Structure 1
Amino acid sequence: MGGDGGCDGVGPEKILSDFLTEYHSDQLQSIILSSDHRLHYPLYVDFAEVMEHDSPLAHDILFEPMEYMPLFDKAAKSAQETACERLKKIWEHENSQKAVDHPPLSIKEFVHIRIEVRGPMLDNPEFCPSIGRVRVKHRGILLTLKGTVIRSGAVKMIEGEREYECRKCKHRFKVHPELESRNSIPKPIFCPSQKQKYCESTNFQLLEGNRVCHDYQEIKIQESTQVLGVGAIPRSILVILQDDLVDIVKAGDDVIVTGVLTAKWSPDLKDVRCDLEPVLVANYVRRINEIKLDVEIPKEVIQQFENFWSEFKDTPLKGRNAILRAICPQVYGLFTVKLAVALTLIGGVQHVDASGTKVRGESHLLLVGDPGTGKSQFLKFAAKLSKRSVITTGLGSTSAGLTVTAVKDGGEWMLEAGALVLADGGLCCIDEFDSMREHDRATIHEAMEQQTISVAKAGLVTTLSTRSIVFGATNPKGQYDPDQSLSVNTTLSGPLISRFDIVLVLLDTKNPDWDKVVSDHILDQAEPEKDKFHEDISKKWSLSLLRRYIQYVRGKFRPILTKEAENVISRYYQLQRRSATENAARTTVRMLESLIRLAQAHARLMFRKEVTQLDAITAILCIESSMTTSAIVDSSGNALHSNFTDDPDQEYAKQEKQILEKLNTFDDIISI
């Protein structure tokens, strides 16, 4: 392809320089005003802008990046000179008006053009394939890959070039490292001088004075499990970062990487065949974690939420239940579980206490239940609602697979992220929680409460962030015994159970009336013309709208506790501490924090900026459902048969009266 990249015989370097001067004068100005000469400076360019400025040249950059990217870097230098001249003229004009001191200007040697690919082009499989679809045909073109960083290597220093002088003709030339041969710089075979006669000398002298070195780091990115089909194994690819790109991502980050695909010899290992493996030499890296946390929600969608709540202004709980019905609609009833899932995904507000310690805002949920009670259905649906999720099972997870593992690669130890680190900022679903080995369960204690994982493996001592919601599901050990504590029924330790904000027990009690209602519901689902219920829900609250709603209320509202809510939560906590005999694992100080988180989550769910008495009492009802022996509400502690009521506001009024009466009675006993 190649070509001159423009019309009228103007060279590509001049076109690129003009483009940078026209579109990126602000970035150029900040670079020439910077004081450090030795730094490597990035200059970010949107590929769509290059396409708009000069389409043939953009085409050449896309298909021959190895040839055109160095030209782009050279163009950055001449663009700096133009920007420098312009700035001097402006300052001269200012000085003629009044005397002004200006900072020194300098042209920087190391400026790298970082090409950003956005918009529709990210959906083009030719230039943005999935990692598993990378083939030889993609070699040598500008490629964009999406994935999650699973391994982050140490930052090394490599030699960027060597300068040799021919002893015969005194010609000086530079030799650059070869990626295929592990970044080593080969000794030149013959003199490349192209004077009138070819020199063909093989005798050279290495000039030591001007040696150029670069920062170098290798990371490994893996396909996101959300985009893979069932049964597909996520593929990974090695990515090489250099200069200003090193150390800007860590294990667990979601990234978009633009670069050039090439090959590299795999490390020399004993009894292992040495092959060429594909690597992506990165030109641009963008973290998309922050972007996900602050998703742009259209104004019309926000207006839709506001209209919905103004419609249910007089009956707010009816409005809340309309949202809850859209959670896992294929499962009949289970109101308590759907409420718990919504509150867990929305979560409370993270805050810092007086000592400077962070108190987590994320809630954790554990479903304990007989087979066939829909636990896995809720896990799968919650994973769809979360912006970032990892699903695993107890048998399929080791402690290293959950937290972090140390792997040896080419003689160097590296850390590879596990499920909890990969789910940072999202949701980690663990099915068959009881199948995990005792040692593996113990590793998630710190991850759940402190939201970090401290690692000391193979000489690598560090702390990784795990701000993820843990959603577990487990079967009881044998027949569930209501007279025994949760620890005995589930074989989970007290400290682990206390870390879950809500523990719901789903017992299959073989109730004939319930079985009739559920069987009718399932049979109606099997006949599409009868299934009007699901159609109504999917029209009002689709999965994408529900996901947007959860993201919006999480980002928008930071609810503050009112005096009434504080009073109710405080009195209930004291009552539980007095009556806690069988549920000692649940009634710790963590329970008080759980109540606050759940009350805040309910206020967010109700589209409010303050936590009212209603939110506090709903949080109490959720915690009560977690208790096998209820301290306040007359309930069997079985969340399986909890159903949606026709008039939830009226039902709540009864529960509020009942709870406040019990709390007042308790206050009277204490005062005596």
Structure 2
Amino acid sequence: MNQLIYSTSFVESSPYVEKIKVFEQYFTSQIDLYDKDEIERKGSILVDYKDLLSNKLISNTMPDLAKDLKEMPEKILDCLGVAIHQVLTVDLERHAAELQGQEELPAGLRPIINIPHISARVYNYEPLTPLRSLRANLYGKFVTIRGTVVRVSNIKPLCSKLAFVCNSCGDTQSVTLPDGKYTIPTKCLKTECRGRSFTPNRSSPLTLTVDWQTIKVQELMSGDQRESGRIPRTIQCELTQDLVDSCVPGDMVTITGVIKVSNEEGNGRNKDKCMFLLYIQANSVSNSKGQKSKAASESEDQGPSVEFSIKDLYAIQEIQAQEDLFKLIVNSLCPAIYGHLLVKAGLALALFGGCQKYVDDKNRIPIRGDPHILIVGDPGLGKSQMLQAVCNVAPRGVYVCGNTTTTSGLTVSLSKDSGSGDYALEAGALVLGDQGI
């Protein structure tokens, strides 16, 4: 069983055995809340981080679970995977025994239970880490980031286990490839064979490949986090198995995963230096754009990107009680520019938008509800300042200068990856500003 998760043999005295038993009790108490067929089909299970920590059994037996998950996430995630695998195996054996009794089959027959590898997808993980805080000290740690997808690569097969055939005796052994890096076995497993030459067998049933995809996530900057003179930061994330195709360019996502490093492919003077690039090995992806997420579709807390405190709600209630509310909104927009109330009124209407008409009527053409505003005036009147003020106020806004952009730069452009040479779609301003300004 543990060979599905761990590459080493089972040790009864391992400290992770107790953790696996506790997780088994946790999943057993909640097994009726999960769709077991869906778990087997996707090869993953959704684990709510908040519910996991609030469980009495978990909090009493593993009070340092939050620290352990942050410091050694791969071990804890493997323990969760082994636990749910054991629970599903026992549950299927119990159902098979009941069915065997109902059908009056011979008692000596044992059903074949073959459950694939199951990954634990943790969502609702806290706290949220800003991209500017991702440094070398977070290597190997469990983090959560939120941003906009600006680049999505093609889906490729990634070999996680590769079978090698010994050239001396013909014995076959399977070698785990960490992070997909090609690794050759050092010696043959047979004691009487001293062969050190091996040939990879990619068609062997012991060879395991999974779907693999990379995305680039750009940080979301609110008004108090904007830094003048700096372009938004980005980080690359790797998606595997059921997480691939969970987002498209322009989607706002929350990604939970492990910080890892990869060798930077340089040329010239930098090719001999030990340079590494930080990336995130994604464990779960929550898409807040209304599409069904592959890893956190049951999470309703991840949807809105704007969270209001009690103080904010009281301020909104006080503003709502004003007599001339629209006048207050217009005068509050870009107060550094004096006057131009009609221009500010039009920008305020564009900021709030309208309602679509005839969306569900098949006999009529739908009418969009978001207006387009064209501002024309002499230089130096503050047109750009007012537009930037609207982008800063909007929860999702992108500001571009018209004389320096192209059609492909505004929509979607094809970019070539320097490492693999493949082409990928990179989102432009219109895609990044979707459902925003």
Structure 2 residue aligned with 1:341: 347
Unmatched segments (≥5 aa) in structure 1: 96-103, 123-127, 313-317, 428-672
Worse-matched range after superposition: 300-309 or 151-160: 300-309
Q: For residues 214-265 of structure 1, what are the alpha-carbon distances to aligned partners after superposition, in whole Å with 9 as ceiling and x for unaligned?
A: 1111111122344441112323222111010000111111222122222234
The answer to whether the 8 Å contact 1:132/1:236 transfers is no
More helix by share: 1
Residue 364, structure 1, aligned to residue 362, structure 2: no
SS in 2 for 1:382: helix
1:40 maps to 42
- The offset of 1:108, in angstroms, is 3.4
Secondary structure at the residue paired with 1:148? strand
Structure 1's 112 and 178: CA in aligned 2 closer, same or farther, altered over 3 A?
closer
1:357 CA displacement: 5.2
Question: What amino acid sits opposite 1:241 in the alignment?
Answer: L
Q: Which runs of 5+ in 2 are unaligned?
A: 1-10, 103-110, 291-301
1:136 aligns with 2:136: yes
Flag the 1:200–1:228 CA change in 2: closer, same or farther, 3 A. farther
Separation of aligned partners in 1, 2:147 and 2:192:
49
The one of 180, 188, 192 equivalent to 1:191 is: 188
8 Å CA contact retained: 1:386, 1:426: yes
What TM-score do you get using the length of structure 2 for normalisation?
0.75
For 1:322, give the aligned amino acid: L
Q: Secondary structure at the match of 1:66?
A: helix
1:403 is displaced (CA, Å) by: 1.8
**Match in the other structure for 1:156:** 156
Aligned twin of 2:386: 378
User: Does the 8 A contact of 2:239 with 2:282 survive in 1?
Assistant: yes
Aligned pairs (5 A) from 1:496-511: none
Tell me what 1:426 maps to. 436
Q: Give matches, 1:56-455, under 5 Å.
A: 56-84=64-92, 108-119=115-126, 121-122=127-128, 128=129, 130-164=130-164, 173-179=173-179, 183-191=180-188, 201-204=195-198, 208-226=204-222, 227-266=225-264, 273=271, 276-290=276-290, 312=323, 318-351=324-357, 352=359, 354=362, 358-409=366-417, 410-427=420-437
Distance in structure 1 (CA, Å) of the matches to 2:340 and 2:162: 70
Report which stretch shifted further, 151-160 or 349-358.
349-358
- How far, CA to CA, are the matches of 1:9 and 1:402 in structure 2? 51
Alignment length (residue pairs):
391
Aligned-pair CA distance for 1:336: 1.8
* Conservation of the 8 A alpha-carbon contact between 1:161 and 1:185: no
The CA deviation string for residues 272-319 of structure 1, in whole angstroms up to 9 with x for no partner, is 83854322211111123345668677899889878876775xxxxx34
- Partner of 2:21, secondary structure, is helix
| Aligned counterparts of 2:98 and 2:343: Cα–Cα separation in 1 | 67
Q: Distance in 2 between matches of 1:357 and 1:348?
A: 17
One-letter code aligned to 2:125: R
Aligned residue for 1:229, secondary structure, equals coil
For 1:153 and 1:9, how far apart are their aligned partners in 2?
Answer: 36
Q: Using the alignment, how far apart are the partners of 2:15 and 2:264 within structure 1?
A: 46
- 1:480 maps to none
- In 2, the alpha carbon distance for the partners of 1:24 and 1:202 equals 47
Residue 422 (structure 1) shift: 0.7
1:153 Cα deviation from its structure 2 partner:
0.4
In our comparison, the structure showing a higher alpha carbon Rg is: 1
Q: Does the C-alpha gap of structure 1 residues 289 and 203 become closer, same or farther in structure 2, counting only changes over 3 Å?
A: same
Quick check: 1:223–1:234 contact (8 Å CA) kept in 2? yes
* Kept after mapping to 1: 8 A contact 2:237/2:279: yes
Once the two structures are superposed, residues 128-163 of structure 1 have per-residue CA deviations (whole angstroms, 9 ceiling, x without a partner) of 2x3344222222222222222111001112223123
Whole-angstrom CA distance in 2 between matches of 1:396 and 1:105? 64
Q: Distance in 1 between matches of 2:356 and 2:198?
A: 64
Aligned residue for 2:77, secondary structure, equals helix
Residues 515-526 of structure 1 aligned to structure 2 (within 5 Å):
none
Deviations 1:400-432 (A, max 9, x none): 3322221111221112111111111101xxxxx
CA distance in 2, matches of 1:86, 1:303: 55
Per the TM alignment, residue 86 of structure 1 is displaced from its structure 2 partner at its CA by 7.0
Q: CA deviation at 1:339?
A: 2.1
Q: Check whether the contact 1:215–1:243 (CA below 8 A) recurs between aligned residues.
A: yes
CA distance in 2, matches of 1:113, 1:67: 11
User: Residue by residue, what CA displacement relative to the aligned partner does 1:446-494 show, whole Å, maximum 9, x if unpaired?
Assistant: xxxxxxxxxxxxxxxxxxxxxxxxxxxxxxxxxxxxxxxxxxxxxxxxx
Mark the CA change 1:62 to 1:90 in structure 2 (over 3 Å): closer, same or farther.
farther
Aligned residue in 2 for 1:554? none
Distance 1:423 1:249 in 2: 16
Report if aligned partners of 2:174, 2:206 keep a CA contact under 8 Å in 1.
no
Structure 1 residue 168 displacement after superposition: 7.3
Counterparts of 1:336 and 1:417, CA distance in 2: 33
Aligned-residue offset at 1:89: 9.5
Say whether the 8 Å CA contact 2:160–2:178 is kept in structure 1. no
Contact 1:80 1:107 in 2 (8 A): no
- SS state at 2:183 partner: coil
TM-score by length of 1: 0.51
Deviation at 1:90, TM superposition (A): 9.9
Task: Judge conservation of contact 2:329–2:348 (CA < 8 Å) in 1.
Answer: no
Question: What RMSD over aligned residues (CA atoms) do the two structures have, in Å?
Answer: 4.0
Q: d(CA) in 1 for partners of 2:320 and 2:77?
A: 54
SS of 1:240's partner is: strand
Kindly tell me: are residues 271 and 376 of structure 1, through their superposed partners in 2, closer, same or farther at Cα, counting changes over 3 Å? same
Q: 1:301 to 1:224 in 2, by over 3 A?
A: closer
In 1: Cα distance, 2:84 partner to 2:214 partner: 26
Counterpart code for 1:20: F
How far apart are 1:85 and its partner, in Å? 6.0
> Structure 2 CA distance, aligned partners of 1:210 and 1:307?
66
Q: 1:204 to 1:371 in 2, by over 3 A?
A: closer
For 1:315-345, what per-residue CA distance to the aligned partner results, in whole angstroms no more than 9, with x for missing partners? xxx3432343333344444332232122212
Q: Does 1:22 align with 2:29?
A: yes
| Preserved contact between residue 21 and residue 82 of structure 1 (Cα < 8 Å) | no
The Cα of 1:75 is off from its aligned counterpart by 1.7
SS of equivalent residue, structure 2 residue 143 = strand
Decide whether the 8 Å contact of 1:327 with 1:381 is kept in 2: yes
